[in-house]
């Protein structure tokens, strides 16, 4: 569980983040461009709407990280019950979990 932010901590630092994105370049800029374009097209401009979207993505990332931790703890057992070799089964499990989060239940 994450520690709560102190009043002196900053969750956002857009000026430095923007500079970092330009220093790193692609693929971060493509994500930025995609978000700016979508937010403009969808008229997503209120802080509340943006915070809702960010919260949803934070939750998805937390779920993925928890699943990765769970799979990491299992991958050294020596075998899997899946239909692939251990390393490929590990990746297949992550992909299946991510697709489930995205609503793809193939």
DSSP labels, the chain: -PPPPPTT--S--HHHHHHHHHHH-TTHHHHHHHHHHHHHHTT--SHHHHHHHHHHHHHHHHHHHHHHHHHHHHTTSS--SSSS-HHHHHHHHHHHHHHHHTT---
Using a cut of 0.75, tell me whether the model's pTM lies above it.
Answer: no
What's the confidence (pLDDT) of residue 75?
Answer: 57
What's the confidence (pLDDT) of residue 99?
Answer: 76
Give me the residue spans of the domains in the chain: 12-45, 46-106
What's the confidence (pLDDT) of residue 106?
Answer: 46
pLDDT in tens, the chain (106 residues): 556 556 566 778 887 877 777 777 767 677 888 888 999 999 998 999 989 998 998 999 999 989 888 887 775 544 555 566 666 777 777 777 777 777 655 4
What's the confidence (pLDDT) of residue 48?
Answer: 92
């Amino acid at each position: 569980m994450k520690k709560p932010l102190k009043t002196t901590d900053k969750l956002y630092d857009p000026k430095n983040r923007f500079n970092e994105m330009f220093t790193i370049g692609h693929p971060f800029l493509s994500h930025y461009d995609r978000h700016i374009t979508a937010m403009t097209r969808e008229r997503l401009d209120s802080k509340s709407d943006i915070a809702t979207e960010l919260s949803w993505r934070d939750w998805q990332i937390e779920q993925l990280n928890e699943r990765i931790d769970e799979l990491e703890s299992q991958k050294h057992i020596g075998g899997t019950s899946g239909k692939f070799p251990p390393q490929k089964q590990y990746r297949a499990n992550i992909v299946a979990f991510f697709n489930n989060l995205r609503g793809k239940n193939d």
